[in-house]
Amino acid sequence: MDCPKCGTWNPDDKTRCWRCNEELPKPRPAPEKKRRGVPMTWIWIAIGVMVVLMILQTCMALQSLR
């Protein structure tokens, strides 16, 4: 973090500037990122659709063997 008074870099754990002894502002925590994942419901729906399609494909293949 840079000192607002003299511009000297100071480690984040310091509360006062090592050069001018000015009090440093408290570091702001990084804002939390919102999770933008795919809801689990859609994943289960996709898996169900794939299973149904595989079963239909297997049934059609068995029908063509008769």
Integer Cα distance of 12 and 3 in angstroms: 11
Cα within 13 Å of Cα(23), Cβ side: 2
Provide the pLDDT for residue 19: 93
Q: How far apart are CA 62 and CA 33, in angstroms?
A: 51
Q: 11 CB contacts (<8 Å, ≥6 apart)?
A: 1
User: What per-residue confidence (pLDDT) applies to 38?
Assistant: 67
Q: For the chain, which residues score pLDDT lower than 70?
A: 37-38
CB 2 within 8 A of CB 12: no
pTM of the predicted model as reported, rounded to 2 decimal places: 0.42
